[in-house]
């Protein structure tokens, strides 16, 4: 996908399985929204092939649109409609809508059904957005950065909503720049940076964290901080602690750490941005 001279997304290749929660992760400007909008049929791509539910989104018709739900980055709520009215309105756009009350319950807004959208908190408005996307009973749901700006407890509540969609067997294409969100929710994660895919895999094996060097830290007898990077932390720890015990010394503040997923993410995305900037 090019915008004039700028290649926003360059030769990316990805597959999402039915029933999967797929997280598409990357820093600002990486190309996430561009990609998602192409998949949703909102943006015309300048090259490549795309199939979503077996059809090309650029030419797919009403029947296809009926099978997908979309939650955009900015909400599209009418501030003066109540929660129930908003969801009823959207139900009218689909040929086989799910029940309005059931949808309200699914997104946890039972107590707010008669409140106007403008009276809801940011997190509740986002849940209403999801409700409006869900009332058409889509097979596939796109969520574009759904929890940006949420406080930690609102994010966890929203994650519960997504977990319940997993149980309904929905396929979810989730865009986020929160590593912990991807780790918590996703079956598979793809990281994009500067328009290219830099890593793909399950949250567990992403970046081959298990094979990365561990860092051992402690303070020696003189109180000086010692840091050791090692690919074999078990053997190294055995040596260090064995020697300390022979000398009858303690190892104050002893800790062993591996790079967190966040470290892996920052490492991968900063390398890619560096390359793109050259
Ligand atoms: P964010 O996390 O900030 O939403 P993103 O990963 O969704 O970022 P995109 O919005 O897809 O990123 O943008 C990718 C690149 O394409 C950016 O460099 C952006 O400036 C550029 N871009 C996006 N939309 C347009 C447009 N309509 N015209 C020109 N350039 C654009």
Tens digits of residue pLDDT in 150-164: 788 888 888 988 998
Tell me how crowded residue 133 is: count the other CB atoms within 10 A of its CB: 21
Alpha carbon of 54 to ligand 1 centroid (Å): 26
The pLDDT, as a whole number, for residue 45 is: 95
Structural tokens at position 7: 């290649």
Residue 253's φ and ψ, nearest 5 degrees, are 65, 30
Ligand 1 probe mutation, 1, 5, 32, 181, most atoms within 8 A of CB? 32
Alpha carbon of 33 to ligand 1 centroid (Å): 7
What is the residue with the minimal CA distance to atom 10 of ligand 1?
Answer: 33
Query: Dihedral through CA 80, CA 84, CA 86, CA 88, nearest 10?
Result: -140
What is the residue with the minimal CA distance to atom 29 of ligand 1?
Answer: 3
Nearest to 157 by CA among 126, 187, 111, 182: 126
The pLDDT, as a whole number, for residue 270 is: 81
Decide: 30 in ligand 1 pocket, CB within 6 A.
Answer: yes
Q: Are 229 and 213 in contact (CB under 8 A)?
A: yes
The pLDDT, as a whole number, for residue 210 is: 65
Which residues lie below 8 Å from residue 238, measured CB to CB, with a gap of 6+?
none
Please tell me the distance from the alpha carbon of residue 3 to that of residue 32, in angstroms, as a whole number: 14
Query: What Å distances lie between residue 30 and 110, 142, 236, CA to CA?
Result: 37, 18, 39
Tell me how crowded residue 163 is: count the other CB atoms within 10 A of its CB: 12
Which residues lie below 8 Å from residue 38, measured CB to CB, with a gap of 6+?
1, 9, 44, 45, 50, 57
Nearest to 276 by CA among 4, 3, 6, 1: 6
Alpha carbon of 58 to ligand 1 centroid (Å): 19
| pLDDT tens, residue by residue, 55-74 | 999 999 989 999 999 988 77
Half-sphere exposure of 226 (CA within 13 A, CB side): 14
- Using the atom order of ligand 1, give the atom closest to the CA of residue 192: 6
Please tell me the distance from the alpha carbon of residue 218 to that of residue 222, in angstroms, as a whole number: 11
Would you give the distance in Å from CA 238 to the centre of its chain?
A: 39
Please tell me the distance from the alpha carbon of residue 20 to that of residue 169, in angstroms, as a whole number: 8
Tell me how crowded residue 256 is: count the other CB atoms within 10 A of its CB: 15
Would you give the distance in Å from CA 172 to the centre of its chain?
A: 10
Which residues lie below 8 Å from residue 111, measured CB to CB, with a gap of 6+?
none
Which three-class secondary structure state does DSSP give residue 30? Answer: coil
Q: Are 247 and 173 in contact (CB under 8 A)?
A: no
The pLDDT, as a whole number, for residue 148 is: 80
Alpha carbon of 35 to ligand 1 centroid (Å): 9
Q: Are 84 and 104 in contact (CB under 8 A)?
A: yes
User: Which residues of the chain are modeled with pLDDT < 70?
Assistant: 207-210, 272-278
In sequence order, the β-bridge partners of residue 218 are 226
């Amino acid at each position: 996908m090019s915008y004039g001279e700028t290649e926003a997304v360059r030769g990316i290749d990805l597959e999402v399985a039915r029933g999967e929660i797929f997280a598409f992760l990357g820093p600002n400007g990486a190309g996430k929204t561009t990609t998602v909008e192409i998949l949703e049929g909102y943006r015309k791509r300048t090259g490549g092939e795309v199939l979503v539910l077996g059809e090309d989104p650029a030419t797919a018709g009403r029947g296809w649109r009926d099978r997908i739900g979309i939650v955009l980055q900015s909400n599209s709520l009418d501030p003066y409609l109540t929660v129930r009215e908003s969801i009823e309105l959207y139900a009218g756009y689909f040929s086989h809508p799910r029940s309005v009350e059931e949808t309200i319950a699914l997104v946890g807004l039972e107590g707010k059904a008669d409140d106007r959208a403008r009276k809801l908190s940011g997190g509740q408005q986002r849940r209403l957005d999801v409700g409006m996307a869900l009332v058409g009973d889509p097979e596939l749901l796109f969520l574009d950065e759904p929890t940006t700006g949420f406080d930690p407890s609102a994010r966890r509540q929203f994650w519960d909503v997504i977990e319940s969609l997993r149980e309904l067997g929905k396929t979810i294409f989730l865009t986020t720049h929160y590593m912990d969100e991807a780790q918590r929710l996703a079956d598979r994660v793809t990281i994009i940076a500067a328009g290219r895919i830099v890593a793909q895999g399950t949250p567990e094996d992403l970046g081959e964290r298990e094979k990365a060097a561990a860092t051992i830290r402690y303070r020696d007898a003189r109180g000086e901080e010692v840091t050791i990077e090692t690919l074999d932390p078990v053997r190294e720890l055995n040596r260090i602690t064995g020697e300390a015990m022979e000398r009858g010394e303690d190892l104050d503040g002893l800790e062993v750490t591996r790079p967190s997923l966040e470290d892996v993410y920052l490492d991968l995305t900063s390398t890619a941005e560096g390359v793109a900037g050259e």
